[in-house]
Structure 1
């Protein structure tokens, strides 16, 4: 085929397929515009979500992960939309992605559960770093809230990593949440003791202690008549930061003052009675 014939053939082909050719170019331009605009919107949405999470005081690591995950999902949707616009069959591609996502989700369900729990902890904030809590069967000071786990330091300085799903799957006790705490003590005195004198002595100890709060008021009263003792409940209110120092100090002071007043603190005991039996 000569060059003249080739040019004639190409010209005729272009004339016959001019509409299809132009439509294809337009589709490519529109697809390019979809990708360009979609990427811009994906970035805008991910940045917006990250800013909103930061305003809610969500941990930066969690907010960054959520923003990047949202960005990846939006980018995938934009690419699928662009391919679909140029005539590429994306149904099979979407089905493959769905199956792969399901397989990955099943294999990582434990990690995903911990991740979701980490988001819940960061959003609802049942505790924060520095709080003393009991969570997931562990008591300690919260050092760090990570995406998949919460780091605690126990009172004896053990480093404990608790999965977030375990934290949210059990009751959470935050001992640092409120400014004040009540100390609950049970003090037993002997049955021969003067109860009014013992009660007055316990109240005097609380009145004189400088760290015991005046409001709300303390409680001192007889709570039980046990087998070996008459039990008083002693319930003063203190600042949360003073809980253990006051608890230890009151325990020591009460023992010393009861000894000075000759009020006995009994311990469990058993009386053995011997009966003589006449031998016949």
Structure 2
């Protein structure tokens, strides 16, 4: 190590370089604060426009943040004498790995643009995208952020979202809740169906416009298996799901139905014939 060259650099340019570093850190801190302020102001302005969809407004705010951050980085590099053209040459020489990474980001960005145009879901919708189920929190530049039912934040790349099946549970007014109930052999099926229909219709948030379906789903050795299918909005799905199970237990208990039991199969074994001595 050439200590003389290092000492010469410190004595001649060290102070100037140190001041540039301090100035860059101050500029970065102030710039990031200003960018956050600009994003908040633009976001509030877009929220005041009642015709602006929250999904689109969040997307525009994200684009603004990316652009301003790029401008800030270029300004800080300029403080060190690295011009924009030199910065572009530096990126161009970084190699194939960086180019491939940017290519992947661009596919997610392009997919995000298509998602904004097609609008298969909006902020607040309950969806399944990229194999993940949750409520849409944000449709960003490169990924869609969801809050899963177990209160976990999950981000799925936009290209993965667009290339796989998108299931939106919030688009239609009603969502069907699938529950099953088994009755014992010998129970009057028609009576059980009428009792369940009456009980399910009294559950809070069950649709009055779309009557619940209660029908025989299949026959089992223990007795008929009934399909109990009320309809509700997706926001009340789990409440109706659990309340339907409670209604089944309460209804069958009040009616005095016996529990389904597996019939016993008796096998009579014939002893082998005794051979004469």
The 8 Å contact of residues 133 and 174 in structure 1, kept in 2 or not, is answered as yes
Deviation readout 1:22-60 (Å, 9 max, x if unpaired): xxxxxxxxxxxxxxxxxxxxxxxxxxxxx9xx9783621
Counterparts in 2 of 1:62 and 1:119: CA distance versus 1, 3 Å: farther
Q: Does the Cα contact within 8 Å between 1:198 and 1:263 map onto a contact in 2?
A: no
Say if 1:276 and 1:227 are closer, same or farther in 2 by CA, change over 3 A.
closer
Question: Aligned to 2:122, which of 121, 128, 135?
Answer: 128
- Report what 1:233 is aligned to: 227
Scaled by the length of structure 2, the TM-score of the pair is 0.61
- Aligned residues, how many? 197
Give the Cα separation in 1 of the matches to 2:187 and 2:249. Answer: 14
Map 1:29-44; keep pairs closer than 5 Å.
Answer: none
Q: Deviations over 1:180-213 (max 9, x none)?
A: 2222222221222111211111121123334322
Offset from partner CA, 1:152-185 (integer Å, 9 cap, x none)? 1211122212111111111111112223222222
Asked if structure 1 preserves the Cα contact closer than 8 Å seen for 2:139 and 2:145, the reply is yes
Give, in whole Å, the separation in 1 of the partners of 2:162 and 2:212. Answer: 34
> Is 2:113 aligned against 1:111?
no
Q: CA deviation at 1:276?
A: 3.1
In 1, the alpha carbon distance for the partners of 2:263 and 2:185 equals 15
Structure 2 counterpart of 1:180: 174
Aligned to 1:276: 269
Give 3-state SS (helix, strand or coil) of 1:160's partner: strand
Q: Which ranges in structure 1 are unaligned for 5 or more consecutive residues?
A: 1-50, 69-95
Cross-structure match for 2:12: none
Which position in structure 2 is the counterpart of 1:60?
A: 60
Tell me if structure 2 keeps the 8 A contact 1:105–1:112. no
Distance in 1 (alpha carbons) for counterparts of 2:66 and 2:110:
11
- TM value normalised by structure 1: 0.60
- Structure 1 equivalent of residue 215 of structure 2: 221
| CA positional deviation for 1:107 | 5.1
Shift of 1:112: 1.5
Distance 1:262 1:106 in 2: 68
Instruction: Check 1:105–1:216 CA distance in 2 against 1; reply closer, same or farther (3 A cut).
Output: same
Report Cα offsets for 1:122-152 as digits up to 9, x if no partner.
Answer: 2222112222111101111111111111111
Cα distance in 2 for residues equivalent to 1:141 and 1:210: 22
Aligned-residue Cα RMSD (Å) equals: 3.1
Structure number with larger C-alpha Rg? 1
